[in-house]
């Protein structure tokens, strides 16, 4: 079996020697190379060169002067430069135990998957190495939010933010990736549907040095998350906007033809609701409908929701006007914005749920 082990490093000089020693010891019977992708300002590069000279397996260094994409960018660069299609990604600080690599390899060899992720949150796994309670909470909460935002893609993934995984790089669509900091696995899984398996592992304490996680990485993560989701949401908004215009045009035409405004408004609304459904099937949720319920069930849920929403909006406007003394236009605008968000959530989480 031929394997490329990709290790992103940022100032990990005191960890490199021990990491290479433990990887080499764990790689009996595997033809492996180690590729360090380094953005360090300390002596990491020197230590890698030193270790490479005497290591029992090939050790390569890619030193980047411009750290494009941070950790995630380094991982993608390592996958591009790897000798083998089978790539394992792990941190350089020994929080990912090299002794677990054979477990990932065995799961991959069992076949039927493109990627094996080592999870801190699967039954026997542990996130113990997340130094303090705040990080444990942040990690748990961001995992929950992320899973809620990608209910289908991440259905079988308990730890989409893990940095320890094995994949066949041919399954990844490099061109579409926009790596930004730490969450490279999420980027890979959210962009393309892959067959994923998980194995539990214990996130250990750092061997030496300090974590590079920071408030800035947190901001990076939120930008990445909205970027990944925004594509769908903005298409959904465009279709909704076009629908509103069509709604008014139909209403106007029917009134011109002599119809009373109430039936004209109802017909305009219904035609728009159905038109929106057809467009969103084709352009927004096309990648999700395969795993969702049948078309008539989706149709009933979507049309039912939109009609219910239109009915509920009127009393909500009245409520806002009467209790908060808002102008009716402002109240209507607030309900439209809220309705858009709720409608988007309802469609991604219910209508197109697997």
Q: Which residue is nearest to ligand GDD (CB)?
A: 163
At 33 the three-state DSSP class reads: strand
Q: Does 104 bind ligand GDD (CB under 6 A)?
A: no
Q: What is the CA radius of gyration of the chain?
A: 26
Contacts of 202 (CB under 8 A, 6+ apart): 97, 120, 125, 126, 128, 129
Among residues 3, 16, 71, 288, the one that binds ligand GDD under rule CB under 6 A: 71
DSSP string, 197-238: EEEE-B----SSS-----HHHHHHHHHHHHHHHHHHHHHHHH
Pick the stretch among 86-94, 178-186, 222-230, 316-324 that binds Mn ion (CB under 5 A). Answer: 86-94
Pick the stretch among 44-52, 68-76, 95-103, 135-143 that binds Mn ion (CB under 5 A). Answer: 95-103
At 334, which helix (H) or strand (E)? helix 328-346
Q: Does 119 bind ligand GDD (CB under 6 A)?
A: no
Instruction: Report the nearest approach of ligand GDD to the CB of residue 283 (Å).
Output: 32
Among residues 139, 280, 335, 348, the one that binds ligand GDD under rule CB under 6 A: 139
Is the distance from CB of 274 to CB of 303 less than 8 angstroms? Answer: yes
Task: Pick the closer one to Mn ion by CB: 127 or 235.
Answer: 127
Q: Does 136 bind ligand GDD (CB under 6 A)?
A: no
| Cα–Cα distance measured from residue 335 to residue 314, given in angstroms and rounded to the nearest whole number | 9
Q: Does 70 bind ligand GDD (CB under 6 A)?
A: yes
Draw the binding track, 163-202, toward ligand GDD (x: CB under 6 A; -: no contact).
x------------------xx-------------------
List phi, psi (to 5°) of 3: -140, 140
Residue 163 interacting partner from Mn ion, ligand GDD, none (CB closer than 5 to 8 Å by kind): ligand GDD
At 5, which helix (H) or strand (E)? strand 2-9
| Cα–Cα distance measured from residue 127 to residue 140, given in angstroms and rounded to the nearest whole number | 10
Instruction: Report the nearest approach of ligand GDD to the CB of residue 104 (Å).
Output: 15
Q: Which residues bind Mn ion (CB under 5 A)?
A: 91, 93, 95
Q: Which residues bind ligand GDD (CB under 6 A)?
A: 8-10, 12, 37-39, 67, 70-71, 74, 91-93, 95, 130, 139, 161, 163, 182-183, 211-213
């Amino acid at each position: 079996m031929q394997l490329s082990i990709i290790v992103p490093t940022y100032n990990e000089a005191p960890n490199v020697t021990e990491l290479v020693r433990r990887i080499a010891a764990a790689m009996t019977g595997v033809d492996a190379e180690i590729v360090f992708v380094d953005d360090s300002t300390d002596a990491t590069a020197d230590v890698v060169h030193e270790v490479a000279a005497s290591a029992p397996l090939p050790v390569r260094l890619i030193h980047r002067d411009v750290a494009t994409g941070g950790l995630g960018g380094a991982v993608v660069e390592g996958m591009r430069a790897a000798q083998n299609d089978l790539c394992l990604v792990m941190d350089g600080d020994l929080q990912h135990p090299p002794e677990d690599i054979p477990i990932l390899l065995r799961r991959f060899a069992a076949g039927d998957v493109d990627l094996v992720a080592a999870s801190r949150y699967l039954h026997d796994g542990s996130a113990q190495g997340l130094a303090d309670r705040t990080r444990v909470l942040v990690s748990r909460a961001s995992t929950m939010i992320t899973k809620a935002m990608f209910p289908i893609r991440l259905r079988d993934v308990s730890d989409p933010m893990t940095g320890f995984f094995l994949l066949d790089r041919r399954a990844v669509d490099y061109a579409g990736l926009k790596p930004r900091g730490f969450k490279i696995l999420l980027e890979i899984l959210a962009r393309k549907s892959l067959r994923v398996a998980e194995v539990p592992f214990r996130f250990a304490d750092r061997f030496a040095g300090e974590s590079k996680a920071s408030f800035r990485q947190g901001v990076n993560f939120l930008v990445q998350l909205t970027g990944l989701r925004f594509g769908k949401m903005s298409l959904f908004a465009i279709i909704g906007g076009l629908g509103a215009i069509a709604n008014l045009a139909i209403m106007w035409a029917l009134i011109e033809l002599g119809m009373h405004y109430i039936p004209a408004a109802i017909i305009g609304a219904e035609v728009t609701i159905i038109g929106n459904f057809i467009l969103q099937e084709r352009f927004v949720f096309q990648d999700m409908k395969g795993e969702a319920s049948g078309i008539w069930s989706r149709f009933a849920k979507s049309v039912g929701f939109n009609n219910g929403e239109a009915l509920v909006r009127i009393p909500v406007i009245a409520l806002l006007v009467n209790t908060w003394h808002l102008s009716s236009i402002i109240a209507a605008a607030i309900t439209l914005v809220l309705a858009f968000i709720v409608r988007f959530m309802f469609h991604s989480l219910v209508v197109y749920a697997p």
